[in-house]
Amino acid sequence: MQIDFARTAWQDAAADWLVVGLAENEAPAGPLAALDEALGGRIARLREREDFTGKAGDRLALYDVAGIAAKRLLLVGLGQRDKLDAESFRKAMQSAARKLSEKKDVSVAVALPPVAVEAISARRALELAALAFVVGCVGQDRYRAEPGRHPFRSIALLAVDGEGDAGRGDSERGRILGEAINLTRELVDAPPREIFPESFAARAEEVARAHGLACEVFDRARLEDERMQALLAVAQGSAQPPRMVVLEYKGAGEGAPVLALVGKGVTFDSGGLSLKSAENMQTMKCDMAGAATVLGAMTAIARLGLPVNVTGYMGLVENLPGGNAFKVGDVLTARNGVTIEVLNTDAEGRLMLADVLSYAVDQGAERIIDLATLTGACVVALGEDVVGAFANDQVWCDRVLAAARAAGERVWQLPMFELYEELIKSDVADIKNIGGRWGGAITAAKFLERFVGTKPWVHLDIAGPSFASSNKPHREGGGTGCMVATLVEVAERYGEGNG
């Protein structure tokens, strides 16, 4: 898909659609005033009559518009001017993209609103607009005879004066992020008969080759050599053998500190012998979202050529209740020697992550972030749209939270008080894999903490935001690609020495 950056006046841009974002309480000035004048005062009249006020989520299509070079005009509400941020701007642009990609072969010109430039900088606005149009035109309808969305023929991003050094580099960064997010979404959306540990690993190898990443795939024998008994136990009930993928990017050269990204890749979570209900199982193809997020982020980090060393670790298993399945009451010895009493085979994510995390630590990571669709409890605590953060190091956590804010993604930190440790003590082993009814997202994080030693570490529970149950104007249902942009932002800052 072609994305161009131009300094054309809005009313002169030739395209099937011109997209113009308007804030609620915005006095028409600059390019907006010029556009309104070309339209004979139409925007002002729409506002006066309250046919289009600029509320967040508003979209108004005007056909057959005289006075501008584009064939049609789409007005998009940006919400209140003082509330405009990276997240709300991206949502507005994505809802425009989703609307306009319903038809095939459409060309769009996107006017970058001066209010957005003021609120989040020209560079960020340009990047987010490109990202939103790349993400917004892809649906989860690969298997439908009539797809609901289509790629654009071309996208022109129209800048305005006074935007300093914003330009092609920013729209390119947006495209790269958007494509990385789409890769994550594609893998999450793919049915579990297509994406299982071996096929995920094969895809990772292919992607690594395309983007110049070093890639190593561990098979069962290698995982046994590495004593990854907790991960192997989870895989036991399935005919599909487990894998671990390690992707290496060295943008800062040999010897520079390494940021480790660790992802949970349960390609299908039936719950194992502690079987899930039919209803709770319906979305469990999404349980590899953590691994898919790491893969997506690694491609963007490599394509952007960030001056940083990042290693991605993806643990890949299928959790099924086959005849050889691990059992309730089993005691497992994890890679680092910690013994675990299994009291629920559906708390499998923490078991496999235990081994992957301790492997990452032994490989010499300086800092760690893990991403996992780990607990329903986190969704109960924070809702479907907010990622839970848990950490053993507040400085590192604050940096991850700041990166998320800049990227326009919602993350909220939960406490890691020592008192929670009591809840995962076992009578027969060092720890048990469930912590009882209350504080389930935190006891899961406390479990993981046992496997990161003293390394600064942040755990991101993406069980809610990584998979959307329904379509909304601003986003497609299914995989969302959440946290890809945040991880890339973290890596970028880490490389700049602000890590």
- The b-or-e profile of 165-197 (16+ CB within 10 A means b, else e) is ebbeebbbbbbbbbbbbbbbbbbbbbebeebbb
SS3 252: coil
Q: Judged by CB under 6 A, which of 74, 180, 247, 377 binds ligand BES?
A: 377
Residue 469, Cβ density class (10 Å: 0-12 exposed, 13-18 middle, ≥19 buried): exposed
The smaller minimum CB distance to Zn ion, of residues 56 and 266, is found at 266
Residue 150 C-beta: closest distance to Zn ion, Å? 34
Rounded to a whole number of angstroms, the minimum distance from the CB of residue 344 to Mn ion is 8
287 binds ligand BES (CB under 6 A): yes
User: Per rule CB under 6 A, is residue 461 in the interface with ligand BES?
Assistant: no
Residues 6 or more apart in contact with residue 384 via CB below 8 angstroms: 464, 465, 468, 469
Residue pair 497/325 in contact (Cβ under 8 Å)? The answer is no
As a whole number of angstroms, the distance between CA 165 and CA 161 comes to 11
399 is catalytic: no
- Give me the DSSP letters along 284-348: GGGGGHHHHHHHHHHHHHHHHT-SSEEEEEEEEEEE---TT---TT-EEE-TTS-EEE-S-TT--
- Which residues from 212-241 bind ligand BES, rule CB under 6 A? none
The answer to the question of residue 346 lying near ligand BES (CB under 6 A) is yes
Residue count, binding to ligand BES (CB under 6 A) = 16
- Of 17 and 467, nearer to ligand BES (C-beta) is 467
Asked if 349 is part of the footprint of Zn ion (rule: CB under 5 A), the reply reads yes
What number of CA atoms fall less than 13 Å from residue 357's CA on the CB side? Answer: 31
Looking at the Cβ atoms of 319 and 486, the one nearer to Mn ion is 319
- 276 as an active site residue: the answer is yes
**Which residue number places its CB atom closest to Mn ion?**
346
Catalytic residue (one of 220, 276, 327, 410)? 276
3-state secondary structure of 74: strand
Q: Are 494 and 259 in contact (CB under 8 A)?
A: yes
- Pairing, β 243-250 against β 258-269: unpaired
Task: List the single partner that 463 binds among Mn ion, ligand BES, Zn ion, none, CB under 5 to 8 Å by kind.
Answer: ligand BES
Q: Which amino acid is at 138?
A: V
Taking the C-alpha atoms of residue 199 and residue 389, their distance in angstroms, rounded to an integer, is: 30
Stretch (H or E) spanning 204: helix 197-211
Show contacts with Mn ion in window 251-270 (CB under 5 A).
269
Structure tokens at 476: 């497609």
Query: What is the C-alpha to C-alpha distance for residues 160 and 204, in angstroms, rounded to an integer?
Result: 40
349 binds ligand BES (CB under 6 A): yes
Find the residue with minimal CB distance to ligand BES: 376
Does residue 353 belong to the site contacting ligand BES (CB under 6 A)?
no
Question: What is the spatial distance between Cα 75 and Cα 95, in angstroms, rounded to a whole number?
Answer: 11
Contact status: 263 vs Zn ion (CB under 5 A): no
Residue 379 vs 397, nearer CB to ligand BES = 379
- Residue of 91, 285, 303, 350 marked catalytic: 350
For the beta carbon of residue 484, count every other beta carbon within 10 angstroms: 32
- Amino acid residing at 39: L
**Which H helix or E strand runs over 69?**
none
Residues 462-481 that bind ligand BES (CB under 6 A): 463
Nearer to ligand BES, 99 or 285 (CB): 285
Residue 266 CB, nearest distance to Zn ion (Å)?
5
We find the least distance from the C-beta atom of residue 265 to ligand BES, in angstroms, to be: 11
Q: Say whether residue 186 binds Zn ion (CB under 5 A).
A: no
Q: How far is the CB of 218 from Mn ion (least distance, A)?
A: 22
Supply the DSSP string of 256-267, one letter for each residue. S-EEEEEEEEEE
Q: Which stretch binds Zn ion (CB under 5 A): 104-112, 199-207, 297-305, 346-354?
A: 346-354
Q: Does 376 bind ligand BES (CB under 6 A)?
A: yes
Phi, psi of 86 (to 5 degrees): -55, -40
Instruction: State how far the Cα of 407 lies from the Cα of 128, in Å rounded to an integer.
Output: 9
- Using the contact rule CB under 6 A, the part of the chain among 231-239, 300-308, 342-350, 401-409 near ligand BES is 342-350
Q: How far apart are CA 41 and CA 494, in angstroms?
A: 49
- Residue 440 interacts with ligand BES (CB under 6 A)? yes
461 binds Mn ion (CB under 5 A): no
377 binds, among ligand BES, Zn ion, Mn ion, none (CB under 5 to 8 A by kind): ligand BES
Which of 11, 107, 293, 375 binds ligand BES (CB under 6 A)? It is: 375
Applying the rule CB under 5 A, the residues between 333 and 362 that interact with Mn ion are 346, 348
Contact with ligand BES (CB under 6 A): which of 35, 134, 158, 347? 347
Instruction: Name the site residues for Zn ion (rule: CB under 5 A).
Output: 266, 269, 287, 349
Instruction: Name the site residues for Mn ion (rule: CB under 5 A).
Output: 269, 346, 348
Instruction: Name the site residues for ligand BES (rule: CB under 6 A).
Output: 269, 287, 344, 346-349, 373-377, 379, 434, 440, 463
* Residues annotated as part of the active site: 276, 350
